[in-house]
Amino acid sequence: MNTNLIEGVVLLAVVLVLYTVYFVKGAKGKLKDASKKSVKMFIQNSIRLFAIFTIIAILEKFLSTKAVSTFLLKFSGFRGIIVGALAGSVMMGPAATSYPLGQYLLSHNASVSLVSAFLFTWVGIGVVSIPLEFKFLGKKFTLLRNSFTFIAAIIIALLMGVLI
């Protein structure tokens, strides 16, 4: 069984237990308010997440791994690192989905630095999800986190190029 499904079921069970405890303790008014608020937040966030996943799906459809690889293979040196980091930031996704692309790039003589920058930002920065991050974590935090992550990706890519 999928671990995400198991985690989701466990979290749902915890929420139901907490609501039941709240109900039994006699705080029915608070339970009603909490239920209304949670349904409202669920609907709002579901719409945002749907939009984000739709944008990601469209990007992945139009920016196939072959197209991205072909594009990235045109760059080398520091410029390649920057382009790789920018492409990873836009592509965004689970780490496991980026490994075949990284392997393809390495097998076609892309630099270790370019691939490192691409993989690091693929996982660490999500340009598409920035609006959702703004909502929950605030603009200042989001911008600082993404800026520092991008800078760290460049530094790590440079170090990888020296070490490997």
DSSP the chain: --HHHHHHHHHHHHHHHHHHHHHHTT-HHHHHHHHHHHHHHHHHHHHHHHHHHHHHHHHHHHS-HHHHHHHHTT--HHHHHHHHHHHHHHH---HHHHHHHHHHHHHTT--HHHHHHHHHHHHH--GGGHHHHHHHH-HHHHHHHHHHHHHHHHHHHHHHHHH-
* In a shared domain, residues 15 and 87: no
* In a shared domain, residues 88 and 53: no
* In a shared domain, residues 74 and 95: yes
* In a shared domain, residues 89 and 48: no
* In a shared domain, residues 48 and 96: no
- Does residue 111 have a pLDDT over 60? yes
Half-sphere exposure of 27 (CA within 13 A, CB side): 11
**pLDDT on residue 32:** 77
Query: Which residue range is the domain that position 135 belongs to?
Result: 64-164
* In a shared domain, residues 156 and 84: yes
pLDDT in tens, 45-62: 777 777 767 766 776 666
Distance (Å) of CA 53 to CA 40, 47, 48, 82, 142: 20, 10, 9, 25, 19
Structure token digits, residue 91: 């592509």
Confidence category of residue 85, pLDDT binned at 50, 70, 90: very high
* In a shared domain, residues 36 and 48: yes
Sign, Cα dihedral of 96, 141, 135, 89: negative
* In a shared domain, residues 25 and 41: yes
Give the separation between CA 118 and CA 113, rounded to whole angstroms.
9
Average pLDDT, the chain: 83
pTM, two decimals, is 0.65
* Top-confidence range, 92-106, 129-143, 145-159: 145-159
Domain count for the chain: 2
* In a shared domain, residues 24 and 68: no
Question: In this structure, are residues 126 and 89 in contact, taking their beta carbons and an 8 Å threshold?
Answer: yes
* In a shared domain, residues 143 and 72: yes
Domain end, chosen from 62, 78, 104, is at: 62
* In a shared domain, residues 108 and 162: yes
